[in-house]
Structure 1
């Protein structure tokens, strides 16, 4: 039976395997082919230190998200957890941070696809067309989303492993492309923290598992397992990729290209070899899979916020046949199309990180309030995650920090005005 004012319920159809593939697909595409470049520009040769910091904080966030999702197995993720544990205001902060951060991520993924397959003049129109196609796939139902994501993840992992193995075997003993020279202006703790903040963009995919809480089978068991498993797959993959990039390209060359994995393949075979084509295909498929999962996740958080009246209630509609939040996803698609026509790939990564770090800060604070019955992990992990989110959110590039803070404030003030008028 539907709770008054909440709209129709979504259908539980996803298995643990489906949820793991959605999490892995989101994390692989979200940063593996885009985030290392700006992170290397900030951290230089200490890129692996930044990666380690981002991974530790992400793991803390993952444990908090897992135990909260087990207690509250419904759509919305930390938006719901914040409302239940800390109150409606903090729930809104989490939900708004997620929506703005992941909407930026959607634009980044669409632009990444276009950069790899189209000449400059056609990149923005192609990115808009890709967004429209992905929204259409999600519109048809979550099982189609999960099935396509599974196929895409298998393909991208096979392609990426091919690039990494061939590159490592052929160039491991060679002098780095940049000659081993340090990246100008990079390094130091400020650079390391900024690099970690940018790389956090890559690890945020497990949030999509939590936002699908109303559509997985046996959510109290499935969600925590899927979050931890997807995280365990992705962290070693990122570490190996970063290590090979530093060893073969060097931090300077990694920072200077928007497509470091493609540059790695070019160094092995030249621009006309088959390996660069494999690298481009891997990046395109990975970004496509991430975009598919992102649209599903943001759509469901928007659904939860609309159900509670924090966004227009019309967005809480669930399609009677396909059981998806179709109005929320159509609205998201329209906003992302506008973004891909107005923004660039690198510019949205820091903004996305700020929004998502805000979201996970609320998640960790919410986890700290859980009782022993629902706590699956030590409270120290939630404390470390909360502190880490605050530090990394303040470490993003200044422009991203300022823009993120303004957009977050606009949402909070707007909600305050609406609530006052309703009261």
Structure 2
């Protein structure tokens, strides 16, 4: 096995950084699950509920089950590849170790762009919930989106201590909010509200599951902090499987509960703030504010964690000479260039007028990255069954990508195609520039 690039030394999550700074020791199973659950729910159901119901109708819950199944298989591949590597690093390191450095470099660019879109989704969610909560026109949503990204940029620029927010409390509050409103919805359960089940057609479930897959992004960050886990070979797979199972259950219960409280028509009409409508139906004005507060808190914590982790990933990849040298620069140990880049461009993408395009684009990126992870695991893991599971995950990701390309609206596909082409062109230009400098230096 090739040695690959140096193992990352940075902490890739605020909780990990806090543990290091306070000398609390390695992350236990409970800590790891909270990190992964918090990462997925951060933008998750608050962002995608309305879009999922709009695409899949009464069978929206099936879309979350399919997405959860793909995420679970991918979790298996991440766990197995992390154990094989025996260190932190994620897919970038796995591909280098397996002898695919060029693929690893390109995927790292694609993954960073995926996290940039995820930031935009979280900013979009925060902005629209904030504007709606204060009764302001939709134009104010863009201002709130940009403002929250700039606020967390400032927090992260203050250092590890400032950005290491209490993840336990944040996760507890947002799960409690989701559980409360879902429980009230289930108390009013009526099968007639979901009749007929296939009101949008069976194919719509597949389209929806592919379109909102970005809601399951976040669990893979645990692989970057592998070295900080207590008994990582045991803790990582358990944390990954538990977190994906918990989040899938949360998404399923919230979807059904919301559909029991309000009609699909209302959820679709208010898709940017659909959960607030469910909260109002459950508990009146108090429920509306509880749901809105949960969404704002979830989006804010997701922005913080994504800025923190992605900036450090960009810095480490730049040190391996796979990103422009500007991202190598730090100030007081902080990856300032990467943080500013992510916040500014995340805010720019958050200005898109419809969240469907953002979700679809983000889902396409993570389906491609997770598909690559599963394909690599299917090629390098020992044993028939592990390879079969990972191979199934690859085919599922590939199938979902094909569904997006064939069945989604042309405007969204053009955005995806233009963005992916831009990433490829920029990557090619960077490689040529690097080779030119190397030849000039040799001369």
**Alignment TM class, shorter chain as reference:** 0.7 to 0.9
Report 1 or 2 for greater relative contact order, CA contacts < 8 Å, sequence distance ≥ 6. Answer: 1
Three-state SS of the structure 2 residue aligned to 1:10 is coil
Match of 2:307 in 1: 295
* Residue range with higher mean Cα deviation, 26-35 or 69-78: 69-78
Asked whether the 8 Å contact 1:127–1:340 carries over to 2, the reply is: yes
Separation of aligned partners in 1, 2:96 and 2:242 = 27
Corresponding position: 1:265 with 2:279: yes
Length-normalised TM-score, structure 2: 0.82
* Residue range with higher mean Cα deviation, 276-285 or 407-416: 407-416
Match of 2:189 in 1: 172
Separation of aligned partners in 2, 1:328 and 1:377 = 40
Separation of aligned partners in 1, 2:75 and 2:65 = 15
Three-state SS of the structure 1 residue aligned to 2:215 is helix
Length-normalised TM-score, structure 1: 0.86
Asked whether the 8 Å contact 1:181–1:252 carries over to 2, the reply is: no
Cα drift, residue 101 of structure 1: 1.9
* Residue range with higher mean Cα deviation, 349-358 or 225-234: 225-234
5+ long unaligned stretches in structure 1 = none
Corresponding position: 1:312 with 2:330: no
Separation of aligned partners in 1, 2:159 and 2:234 = 23
Cα drift, residue 266 of structure 1: 2.4
Corresponding position: 1:285 with 2:285: no
Task: Evaluate the alpha carbon distance shift between residue 7 and residue 86 of structure 1 in structure 2; reply closer, same or farther with a 3 A threshold.
Answer: closer
**1:351-373: per-residue Cα shift (whole Å, max 9, x none)?**
1101111111111112123343x
Separation of aligned partners in 1, 2:386 and 2:264 = 36
Three-state SS of the structure 2 residue aligned to 1:33 is helix
Cα drift, residue 9 of structure 1: 3.1
Separation of aligned partners in 2, 1:145 and 1:38 = 31
Cα drift, residue 82 of structure 1: 2.5
Separation of aligned partners in 1, 2:417 and 2:384 = 33
Cα drift, residue 198 of structure 1: 2.2
Three-state SS of the structure 2 residue aligned to 1:346 is helix
RMSD between aligned residues: 3.1
Separation of aligned partners in 2, 1:316 and 1:422 = 15
Spell out the pairing of 1:108-187 with structure 2 (5 A cutoff).
108-118=121-131, 119=136, 120-141=138-159, 145-169=163-187, 171-173=188-190, 176=193, 186-187=200-201
Match of 2:422 in 1: 410
Which of the numbers 236, 249, 264 marks the counterpart of 1:223?
236
Asked whether the 8 Å contact 1:394–1:401 carries over to 2, the reply is: no
Matched residue pairs, number?
A: 410
5+ long unaligned stretches in structure 2 = 21-25, 436-443
Task: Evaluate the alpha carbon distance shift between residue 73 and residue 18 of structure 1 in structure 2; reply closer, same or farther with a 3 A threshold.
Answer: farther
Separation of aligned partners in 2, 1:345 and 1:200 = 14
Separation of aligned partners in 2, 1:19 and 1:144 = 20
**1:230-261: per-residue Cα shift (whole Å, max 9, x none)?**
22321211111122233443444433322222
Match of 1:353 in 2: 363
Cα drift, residue 278 of structure 1: 0.9
Which of the numbers 101, 104, 113 marks the counterpart of 1:88?
101
Cα drift, residue 103 of structure 1: 0.9
Spell out the pairing of 1:6-405 with structure 2 (5 A cutoff).
9-10=9-10, 13=20, 15-16=27-28, 17-72=30-85, 76-85=89-98, 87-118=100-131, 119=136, 120-141=138-159, 145-169=163-187, 171-173=188-190, 176=193, 186-189=200-203, 191-213=204-226, 216=229, 219-258=232-271, 259-270=273-284, 273-317=285-329, 320=332, 324-372=334-382, 378-396=386-404, 397-398=408-409, 399-405=411-417
* Residue range with higher mean Cα deviation, 23-32 or 259-268: 259-268
Cα drift, residue 123 of structure 1: 2.1
Task: Evaluate the alpha carbon distance shift between residue 5 and residue 379 of structure 1 in structure 2; reply closer, same or farther with a 3 A threshold.
Answer: closer
Cα drift, residue 389 of structure 1: 0.9
Asked whether the 8 Å contact 2:126–2:145 carries over to 1, the reply is: yes
